[in-house]
Amino acid sequence: MENTEPEVNVASDLPENYNELKNAANRTANWRERLEAVEQLGQWKSQQSIDILKHRLHTDPVFQVQEAAYEKLKAWGEDALQPVRSKYDVVKGIQKILLRVKKSLPRDHSYEEFKEKLKKMRIDVYDTYEGDKGADFDAWLEGMWKSL
């Protein structure tokens, strides 16, 4: 049987910007930076990179980041369970958080004003759901805003 797995060429040491990548991988308010850090660290097989990727796989709130970490670990032959998209709220108490934002605005505010206020007050929540919902983020957020 022919092996169809892509060949993985990785360096066995750390990149020069390892500390920056480590910090980016743990930046809570920017899922894109975490994803990019996972992608870059996935090119440098070392115990440090493996540890960071496993941490992202098991704890990142954004499914795309978990999935990328899983793919890198599997390519290296590491023991990792494929992530499953959560059926529950990504951020605990999201309705209370959104209600607090809505109550901080004038009664006749627009959805756009609500969205901007959420971004200013809770960039971590905004960013996490933007990453988790992808193209459906605006529709989801507007639906939540209307239901509050």
**Overall average pLDDT of the 4-25 stretch:** 75
Query: Does the structure show a pLDDT above 50 at 67?
Result: yes
Q: What angle do helix axes 31-41 and 18-25 make, rounded to 10 degrees?
A: 140
Q: pLDDT per residue over 106-128, tens digit each? A: 999 999 999 999 999 999 999 99
Cβ atoms 75, 8 nearer than 8 A: yes
**Overall average pLDDT of the 136-148 stretch:** 97
Predicted TM-score of the model (pTM): 0.80
